[in-house]
Copies of this chain bind each other. A is one copy, B any other.
């Protein structure tokens, strides 16, 4: 199987990730922060270590500003719903995933307004359009760092600057870039950063992260046991406990810790350059194939390692199906949970066939994918 669905979840993971998950379950599978015995303390320590390593990766001063969640969707819901109230205004873009758009649409019911800034047909956002959308009651700007449909990269530093100047909270959805692109929360003025553990960060599924800048206060999504202030009937305000009710995914976080350590060891520039090179190689190969339409910038300096295409007027799910069943190549078809992005790109009816490249792919696999597409096109013609 040639796995080119890394934008959904990276596969495989570094060997150390598997080992850490297993070792946690087998050797110290206790409940962190709930008891003082040795196994529980080991569990607590690995979680703290994961906070520290994530902090290194994103230039975060205080590891306690790292909140562990179920997945990036959980992080985004907490961040978006936690910060606004009735009468507030949110700005976002037409390239967002449903994990951003749907919570924002839900908030309309309680009187939170929104503006969805339109991107161009390559999925590109003009930061000035964000600035123009700011109103007196704008409380939050949310943008992705890179489109999950066509990879287009957003200039988050430019938007961070606007947000800072206007004193508006800036939330970045780094689902497609964390672990591959350099994200510096201080330099980029990011107030909240939502991350999936299981994509570029190379951890297991069932892990999400939300970074909260010192001083940013949210209403929590869930209340419950936190292992702290057990005597109180209301949620404690200690960070990160306030946002981390219930038993965390300790084995998953132990695995994520190893994923992040792997990235720190390899170096994020090396990872990014490698993915850029493969992506450009793939795009250049695609350009040679008749009937293949490529969406987005078609330039690996302007897009992450996500490439969406269509073959003539063929149904995208049909092409994905043939790639899987005949050529043993895993891709994703359809709307990729981002309907407005498809309206922006003009692919709402057809969907797209999405190839997403990871650090463990190689040129030979890309060649096979290109060859498979050539065969499919030859068959159709």
**A9-17, A53-61, A137-145, A177-185 - the one binding chain B:** A9-17
The answer to whether the Cβ of A266 comes within 8 Å of any Cβ in the partner chain is: no
**A151-159, A231-239, A298-306, A367-375 - the one binding chain B:** A231-239
Partner of A333, one of B35, B323, B334: B35
Within 8 A of B (CB), among A218-258: 221-227, 230-235, 245-252, 255
The answer to whether the Cβ of A77 comes within 8 Å of any Cβ in the partner chain is: yes
Within 8 A of B (CB), among A13-41: 13, 17-18, 21-22, 25-26, 29-31, 34-40
On whether the beta carbons of A71 and B348 are closer than 8 Å, the reply is: no
Q: Which residues on B sit within 8 Å (CB–CB) of A348?
A: 231
**A94-102, A269-277, A286-294 - the one binding chain B:** A94-102
On whether the beta carbons of A39 and B247 are closer than 8 Å, the reply is: no
Within 8 A of B (CB), among A158-197: 196
On whether the beta carbons of A30 and B223 are closer than 8 Å, the reply is: no
For the complex, give the distance between the alpha carbons of A76 and B222 in Å: 9
Partner of A40, one of B5, B224, B252, B321: B5
For the complex, give the distance between the alpha carbons of A245 and B26 in Å: 30
- State the Cβ distance, A93 to closest chain B Cβ, in Å: 14
Per assembly, the copies of the chain total: 2
Cβ-closest chain B residue relative to A230: B335
- State the Cβ distance, A114 to closest chain B Cβ, in Å: 11
The answer to whether the Cβ of A261 comes within 8 Å of any Cβ in the partner chain is: no
On whether the beta carbons of A230 and B18 are closer than 8 Å, the reply is: no
Binary interface encoding of chain A residues 62-93 relative to chain B, with 1 for a CB under 8 A from any of its CBs, else 0? 00000001111110110000000000000000
Sampled A-B contacts (12; CB under 8 Å): A1-B37, A5-B35, A12-B29, A35-B331, A37-B323, A37-B324, A38-B324, A72-B247, A99-B224, A227-B337, A230-B335, A232-B339
Interface residues of A (CB under 8 A from B): 1, 3, 5, 8-9, 11-13, 17-18, 21-22, 25-26, 29-31, 34-40, 69-74, 76-77, 97-99, 101-103, 105-106, 196, 198, 204-208, 221-227, 230-235, 245-252, 255, 317, 320-321, 323-324, 328-340, 348
